[in-house]
Structure 1
Amino acid sequence: MTLHVTETDDLAACHALRRTVFIDEQGVSEADEMDDLDAGAVHLLALDGDRPIGTARLLLQGDTGKITRVCVLAEGRGTGAGAALINAAIASLRDRGAAQAKLGSQCHAIGFYERLGFEVYGPVYDDAGIPHRDMVRRL
């Protein structure tokens, strides 16, 4: 695998990845997945060579960067693509002056984010039918 992560304007590639993972695999409705926040967001694309395998979306809210819509295709999971996306997100948010990063983790992925320095806070909540917990990391 030749992995690299880049900022992108290729929303079609990001949407295709999100459709595959969230809508097709996880059963999230299109109405829940495709919102109006993409236009004002920074989008990251993880590529294996020139093939998109993962994406993440960054939103700035004051000194907080919110990492959302993180997904990796099934064949890219366990390869380091997810960690590369999160590390690139952290670097991008730092470069934009964020003091902390927040995200809503699906409960099964909490350990993944903890290994990357995030801490859980708040109760479990439902997001599109999937249990989540909020997490935060100082930058």
Structure 2
Amino acid sequence: MDSKQHSILVIDDEERVFDVIEGLLLREGYQLTYAASGPAAIQQMDSLQPDVILLDVMMPQMDGIEVCRQIKANPNWKHIPIIIVTALTSKEDLARSLDAGADDFISKPINSLELRARVRSMLRIKIQYDALAATLRLRTLNLFDAFLS
């Protein structure tokens, strides 16, 4: 893709799920970070600035749907792709996740090929978004410079 090491934030109340994901993505060279709850993840978002978020739905305190809503409601974070990772498989759960702003959905138990493919897909989207945002910033600066000249 590109030479930057991509960061992935895994939000799940079960640390063993993080261990599984870490094992499945080990050879991909991603920087993985673990948050044990939605509030803990939200608190770290500005400092972590993840490229992709893998988010469990069923968590105490704040479920993944609400975490997704809060992340997508923040203008600084709404562009970060979120993949819901859950044992829930009903169409209603899928619809609720997508309505909350999730970009993709993967069911537990996690298939390694599917996980890697979905993460790569979301990274492509994030890279395109970042490139577009950089182009728009540059155009704005050029317009501003031209206005001042």
TM-score by length of 1: 0.38
Higher share of residues assigned strand: 1
